[in-house]
Each structure stands twice: as structure tokens, then as C-alpha cells.
Structure 1
Amino acid sequence: MAHDKNATSPGAQPGAPHRWRWAALFVILAAQVMDLLDALIATIASPVIQTDLGGSSSLIQWIGAGYTLALGVGLITGGRLGDIYGHRRMFQLGLAGFTLASLLCGLASSPEMLVAARVLQGLAGALVIPQGLSMIKQMFPPQELGAAFGAFGPVIALSSVGGPILAGWLIQADLFGTGWRMIFLINLPVGVLALAGAFRFLPRQTERTASNLDIPGMLLVSAALFMLIFPLVQGRELGWPLWTFASMIGSLAVFTAFWRYEIARQRAGRDPLVIPGLFRKRAFSGGLVSGLAFFTGTVGYSLVFSMYAQFGLGYSPLKTGMSFLAQAIGTVIGFGLVNAGLNARLGRKLIHLGAVIIMLGVAGVGLTAYLAGRGVTPWQLTPGLVLTGIGVGLLMAPFFDIILAGVEVHEIGSASGALTATQQIGGAFGIAALGTIFFGLTGGGWAPLSAFLVAISVTLVGLVATFFLAFLLPRSAREQQDWQGQGQTQPA
């Protein structure tokens, strides 16, 4: 394996000036915002896009799921490419590709062109996101990692509620007569500025820990993920033919083949796509499964809430987006509580507390919608949405810090790719599963409110699973580092 530890940028070394490291972090977070906003922003715009371009209801799912699926499939490979060719280079390449794909989205003249451009966006984003986690891990000394990852978490959570608000405003404003197209075109100036910042502040060289790409492994894991998600998105419209179930079952066999191949490849002394030893670390494997449950429930919930608000309540895109503002405020409150010192005192308990509060908030939204009926207003939904946001803030703040605390430098590319892939695959699964439930029930004659309440029940199941799976994590990032240093298995 190749190693290059010579850093030529002030931000590359843990001992570099404080301002350089945080300037580099700001650039990374700006790129993350672009990626994460685009994962959700089209959800609000989907009905308007469908009216303008045409297409079936599956278009609504594929505008979001096509992006998320491409992103999730490519993240593992993207993380490894950073190990091989350098994180800074792959970050810049991905950011440039993402900006260009955004232009194609804004110029799309048909549903097929838009979905294809969204897939390209997702693949470009797969180069950007894992490099950010990797560079943060390498740039910051251990005593500052908590704060760095603490800034990373809020970006994810706030983007999830900021996306719908921004989309709703841009559509309503109809800037320069562009309508929904501006939700993609706005990425052009942001992308150019972020790219300039990447050239100025990011470390020019970071440690490289792999010499070649595991192409067979890449093909295996990509095939397995596609076999799982594609039938979930298309199955309802096609009437659930036998091949959809065969594909989902077959994906398990392909995942198994991928895992065995990775173990054999490492034993043969070759670089695997994903380092198998990562999954023997309880914090990392526990973080993957708990994160999968969390993102499946919450991202799917965002979709069905948006669809219920527009199709069931008749809200405009802007009104739907503004309804999420209460959740954004709650998220800020949640992170404020963490920054006030709760993280150091509670650690993993924050994840449990956050999951419970999110459950109460989501249940509150459902109960309010049920009692108020079709006349429910955003103000009536505000308490439940604020509570949901507080829970998200509490849960997300310590999430990455705890999971990645015990990951070694030579594992960070694989770890970042696998962790962010799990996050995105959970989102894709949530969109596919809850979207199928919502559209399937409404298409079968159910009232939008009834379909929304069923989808909420599925979300709550995912949050309950998150609560219990979080017990697999160490009590805190510090405990994970201590046990990792002693070569022991951390206790529950």
C-alpha cells in the first residue's frame, strides 16, 4: 500500500494554525450542504416538475431516489478513490462534476433527461462526501475532532429541513422566469465559490493508504445495492411482479459474495474496497446498523410529510417548505443544548434521548393531523415539528464522533465511504419504502391522511429500532478511543 504523508498546505497537519483548519472545514461543509440539500430539495418540487415535464408518479420517487441511489452506490468507491489518488483531488473533481450536473438538471427538457442528470449529480456527490470525513479526521488533532464532527452533524440535520424551505421559496419566487429549474441552477455560483475555496484551503496532500481500486468488489456491491433498491421504487407501479421479489432476495446473495471476496482479497495481500476489519469494531458496525434504521425512518418521513401537505392539504410548495421551518428551529435548539455541555456528560445517552424525543414529535404531528383533519394549519403542526427537530439535534451531534473515534488513519477512506453509503442507502430505502406505502394506499382509494398515518407508524418502528441498536455503540467517543488504544473490545 502507498503512503504519502507530506503535506504542503497549512490545513493538512493537526498542528497547523487553527484558522486554516477551520477555513478548510468551512469549505467541506459548504460542499456537503450542496449535496445534502439536493438529496431533499427535489421532493418539494416534484409535483411542479411533474406538471411541467409530465411523467408518472414514479417520476416523483426517481427524482429523489435516483439521486440517492447513485450517491449511495458510489460512496464506497468514492471513499476508496480518495485513498488511492488523494482526498483533495477527488473532492475537487467531484465538486466540479456536481456543479456541471446541476446545470444539466436545470436545462432538462424531459423527465428522462432530468432523472439522468440527477444520477450524474449523485455519482459526483459520491466523490465529495467521503473525502470530507476523511480530511476532517486527518486535519484535526484528537482534542478538536469532537468540535469538528459536531459542526458536521448540524449541517446534515439542518440541510434536511432547509432543503424544503429553499425549494419552496425558489419555486414561489420564480426568479428570472426559471420556476423549479432555479433549485438546481443555484448550485452554479455556490459550486464555483466552493471550488475556489477548495483550491485555496484544503490540504494539498493527505495520507494515501491504497494503491489500486478493487474493481470486482466495486461491481459486486453496486449490483447488490441496485438489486435491492430498484424493485422497491418500481414495484408498486409495475404491480409487484415476481422478479421484484427475486431481485431483492438475490441481492442478499450478492452482498454475501461481495463480503467473501473482500476477505479473500485482503488475505491475498491486495487492497479491498472495504477493509473487513472495520466491521469487527463494535462502534463502527453498530453505527452502521443504527444509522441505517435512523435515516430510513427520518428521510422517508420527510417525503411523505411533503406529499401529504401538498396532495392531502393543498399546501403550495412554499407553504410546505415553511412548515419545515419549525423543525429547523428545533434542530438549532437541540444542537445548542449539546454545545452547552450535554455531549461531554451524556455521550451515547444523547442518541437515546434524541430518538425518544423524535418519536414524540413525529407521533405529535400524526395526532395533530388526525384531530384537526384537512383544516390543519402549519401553526398547529409546529409543536410536533419543533420537538422532532430538537430530537434530531440531540441525536446527530455525537453520532459521527462516536462512530469514527476508533477508526485508524489507514481505515478512514473505507470507513467514510461505508458510513456515508449507509446513510444514503437508508435514505433511499426510506424514500422507496414509505413512498411505496403512501402512493400505494392513496392509489388504492385511501385518504391521504390515512396513508400518512400508516407511513408515520413505519417511521416510528425505525426510530424504536434506532434506540435499541444504539446500545451497540460505546458510551462516548473517549471510551471508544481508550478501548481501541488498549486493543480491547469496548463494553456496552
Structure 2
Amino acid sequence: MEHVRTLEQVPDPRRWTALAVLLTGAFLPPLDFFIVNVALPSISEDFHASASTMQLIISGYATTYAVMLITGGRLGDLYGRRNVFLAGMMAFAAASALCGFAWSPLVLVVGRILQGFAAAIMAPQALASINAIFPDREKSKALSFYALTFGVASMAGLFLGGALIALNVLGLGWRAIFLVNLPVIAVAAPSAVMTLRETRSDHPSKLDLGGAVLIALALFALISPLIEGREQGWPIWSLLMLAASPPLLLLFWQHERRLEAAGRDPILAPRLLRAPGLKRGLLAALFFYAFAAFWLTFSVFEQAGLGRTPFEAGLAVLPAAVGFVLGPFASGQIFRVFGRYSTAAGMSLEAAGLVGTAALVSFGAPTLLSIALFVVGAGQGIALPNLVRTVVQRVGPTQSGLASGLVNSMLQIGGALATALIGGLFFSIIGSSTYATSIGHAYSIAAIAIAICLLVAAWLSVSPPMDDDARSQSDTLDSSGRTH
């Protein structure tokens, strides 16, 4: 492991230029998730597609992305993060072109599934490479930019989709939301070749295909019905898939334990989860992204409750966007003040902002929401980079790809669970009512439920500090989870 430590001690002189390229790879996946929501009415009108097909355009991408993240992170550890990053980026470009030139709804759904697959290969390499090429003293700042990228991507998706369709660039209509990726990647891919340093595990091994298939099936059985089930009234297939998920997860875990006991290389070494604080950090990520339900519930409140247009509803979340943009820049200061409690401080601030929005809506003061929304965004902007840093740094550099895939996967799973459960609660409370007070009441309860999840995440995020022995244990784990 001396080779890895030497690289860590000599900072890459091109690391900040490389960061811009890596952040492009982190920016595109969330952008393409949010941007499509705005374009769905135009796509539906063009193709005369059914509601279920429209749902597949969203869920096909989201499900594939969440399911493949762990495998994507592992591929970077084994075959080189720059190589896998470039492969994922080129595949994302090809899938975007297929979506942009789709001649039928089926082709568009297939293109979206391929986009999700490519995004899951590309995205974990960005976080893992940041962890590998930046020295410890600079990681907080680099991760702040990483967190900022997520906020900008989500907000850009809400506005860019509508703007591109309204401008009707080259007469492309909705197709421009996919094709806009091509010039971005045309610049980013050559830049990646010139600026990114290759990093990988010092102990490369064969990919555990059995483990990759089992974890993909288990996550698909969990996430797909959560995304599609509520929309379709929880049909029997969705319940059967949910019931199949725990046995598949158990089969996956037993398979990984057998491989590790035999001295082979599992995709997720059980011993890796013994890294101090890693399990708590991953659970914190799961509860933290309950915030995903906020976008759904607040959008419905703004449009159905207050009667605003989609564009006006998008403007209403701008205070949260501003907070999210500014929050990461304060995360370094917060870390110096609060230390290992920094993540909890950000999540608590975010929870307080959500409770504030619930109170303001309940007492009929929506005009003051912008202040509470700014607090929500700032809290998330502070919490996310600190959470990512504490989770990824719990393992050694050679494991950072897998760790980044794990934390991203937990965020996606948490978002799917929250959207299904808290979103389901929200719509159950509304029922068939169209009154603003009923919708506002439902939003307030959903906001408090999200805040409770954030407080649980805050508690889980406070892990014991890593002493020298714990650090040594993490650093000496190779890509198969064996110690040397």
C-alpha cells in the first residue's frame, strides 16, 4: 500500500482542472433526471403515449441508475477510474443521442434505461477520483463543489427543460433536452483524457459477476415497485417484487460471504462494512435523502394548492437553490467549528427549515416561505459534502470507488423509499380534495415526516472519530476486503 500513500502525499498539479471535468460527470446524471419531468407533456403529445409509458421514461432511468451504482463504483476500482469514467461518459452520450432521435415511445424508454446504466458507470468515478487525487486538507473544499453540483443540476433541470422547449432550438422541441448533452460531452471527454490521473486498486481482480447480478436483482425488486407501485395502485406484481427483495438481498450477502471465506474477490466484501462508522454513515445517507420527497410534495402544494403554474412553482424553490449553492461554501468553516458533528448540524438546520415551512403553510403565511426554504437549502448544502466525506474516508483509497457507489446507491434508495412512503402518505391525506387548506395540511405533515428522517440521519451521522488504529484498519483493506 506504500504506492497509494505516496500518490496521496504528492498532490496532482492538475487536480483542480480535473475537478471541473469530474463535476461535469457528476452534473449530467441528476440533470437528466430532473429535466425530463418538464418535457413529459410535450413528449406525450408528440408520441400520443400512455401515462404508463410516461412513467417508464422517468422510472426506467431512475431504477437502472440506482441498481447499477454499486457495480459502477466497483468497476472503477478494478479497471481504473479514468478509463471507466470515460467509458461511462461515451455511453451516456450514445444513449442521449438515442433518446434525442427516438422514433417511438419504446425506443425512448430503452434509451432512458441505457442512460441510467451509463450514468451509474460514470457518476461514482467522479466522487472516487476526488477522494483519490485531493489531499486531506483540500477534500472538504473539493467535496463542497461536488455537493454544489448536485444542487445546481437539480435546479437547472427544472428551468433548462422548459427553456429549451420554449426556444425550440433548431426545431428540435423536447429532443433538445437530450441532445444538449452531446456538445457538453464533446468538450468534457477530451479534457478528461488530458487532465485526469488514473487511479485504481493496487490489487485488481476479476469482477464478481454473480454478486453484481444478485445485487442488481435485489435492488431492482425493491426500487422498481416503489417507483411504479403507487402510481399504478399497488398491483400484485409490485407486492410480489417487494416480497422477493429481502430473500434476494440475503442470497447476495451469503454469496459474498462464501467468496470472501474462499479467498476470492466479492463485489462487496463483508469485512469492508466493519470499517469504523461505515454502516452508520450509509444508514445516515439512506435517511438523509428522504428529502427527495420534498420536491414532489412541495411542487403539488404550489400548483394544486396555491394555483401556480409549473414555471412559478419552479421560481418558488429558488430560495432553497440559493441556500444550496451557498451552503457548501460554508461546510469547511462548519467542519472546523463542529468537527465530526458537522453533518448533524447541517441536517438539523435542514430539518428546522422544513418544520418552519410546515408551520408557515399551516398558519397561512406562504409569503414567508422563502426564508424557511433558504434555511432548508443551506442545511442540505452543508450536510451533503460532510456526509459524503465522512463515509468515503472511512475506507482506504483503493476502496473509494466502491464506497462512492455505496453512498450514491443509498441516497437513491432512500429517495425512492421516501417518495413512495411519504409521497403515499401525502396523497392519502389529500384524497380527492382540491381545497388549498387540505393540500397545505398534507404538505405540512409530509414536511414534518421528512424532518424526522433528517434528525434520524443526523444522529446516525455522528460516528466515533477515527483513531490511528481505525485508520490503519481501513487503509489496509484491499479491493477484496483482505488485510495485509
Change (3 A) 1:428 1:120: farther
Confirm or deny that 1:484 pairs with 2:478: no
Confirm or deny that 1:445 pairs with 2:432: yes
Please tell me whether the aligned partners of residues 168 and 320 of structure 1 are also in contact (alpha carbons under 8 angstroms). no
Tell me the equivalent position of 2:318.
325
Counterparts of 1:371 and 1:462, CA distance in 2: 19
Change (3 A) 1:113 1:385: farther
Confirm or deny that 1:152 pairs with 2:146: yes
Work out the percentage of aligned pairs sharing the same amino acid: 33
Instruction: State the Cα deviation string for residues 380-418 of structure 1 (Å, max 9, x = none).
Output: 542232121111112113111111222113322322221
How far did residue 90 of structure 1 move?
Answer: 0.7
Tell me the equivalent position of 2:259.
265
- SS of residue in 2 equivalent to 1:361: helix
Greater Cα offset, 348-357 or 448-457? 448-457
Greater Cα offset, 88-97 or 197-206? 197-206
Counterparts of 1:372 and 1:110, CA distance in 2: 46
* Partner amino acid, structure 1, of 2:34: L
Confirm or deny that 1:464 pairs with 2:464: no
Counterparts of 1:112 and 1:29, CA distance in 2: 31
- SS of residue in 2 equivalent to 1:108: coil
Tell me the equivalent position of 1:428.
416
How far did residue 35 of structure 1 move?
Answer: 1.3
Counterparts of 1:156 and 1:165, CA distance in 2: 15
Q: TM-score, normalized by length of structure 1?
A: 0.86
Please tell me whether the aligned partners of residues 70 and 123 of structure 1 are also in contact (alpha carbons under 8 angstroms). yes
* Partner amino acid, structure 1, of 2:229: G
Counterparts of 1:106 and 1:47, CA distance in 2: 16
Change (3 A) 1:26 1:250: same
Instruction: Identify the match of residue 222 of structure 1 among 210, 216, 222.
Output: 216
Counterparts of 2:347 and 2:52, CA distance in 1: 31
Tell me the equivalent position of 2:384.
396
For structure 1, the residue ranges without an aligned partner over 5 or more in a row are: none
Change (3 A) 1:41 1:345: same
Tell me the equivalent position of 1:236.
230
Greater Cα offset, 450-459 or 188-197? 450-459
Please tell me whether the aligned partners of residues 285 and 411 of structure 2 are also in contact (alpha carbons under 8 angstroms). yes
How far did residue 44 of structure 1 move?
Answer: 3.2
Instruction: Identify the match of residue 283 of structure 1 among 260, 277, 280.
Output: 277
Tell me the equivalent position of 1:121.
115
Please tell me whether the aligned partners of residues 218 and 273 of structure 1 are also in contact (alpha carbons under 8 angstroms). yes
Please tell me whether the aligned partners of residues 231 and 247 of structure 1 are also in contact (alpha carbons under 8 angstroms). yes
Counterparts of 1:29 and 1:347, CA distance in 2: 26
Change (3 A) 1:298 1:201: same
Tell me the equivalent position of 1:298.
291
Tell me the equivalent position of 2:353.
361
Counterparts of 1:91 and 1:162, CA distance in 2: 23
How far did residue 438 of structure 1 move?
Answer: 5.5
Please tell me whether the aligned partners of residues 68 and 425 of structure 1 are also in contact (alpha carbons under 8 angstroms). no
Counterparts of 2:448 and 2:469, CA distance in 1: 33
* Partner amino acid, structure 2, of 1:422: M
Change (3 A) 1:27 1:456: farther
Tell me the equivalent position of 1:37.
31
Change (3 A) 1:5 1:18: closer
Change (3 A) 1:482 1:44: farther
Instruction: State the Cα deviation string for residues 218-250 of structure 1 (Å, max 9, x = none).
Output: 111111111112222332354323443232122
For structure 2, the residue ranges without an aligned partner over 5 or more in a row are: 475-484
How many residue pairs get aligned? The number is: 473
Q: TM-score, normalized by length of structure 2?
A: 0.87
Instruction: State the Cα deviation string for residues 426-462 of structure 1 (Å, max 9, x = none).
Output: 23333444555566676x5232754565355345324
Please tell me whether the aligned partners of residues 5 and 207 of structure 1 are also in contact (alpha carbons under 8 angstroms). no
Instruction: State the Cα deviation string for residues 13-66 of structure 1 (Å, max 9, x = none).
Output: 445565401111111011111112112222333344334434444455433332
CA RMSD of aligned residues (A): 3.0
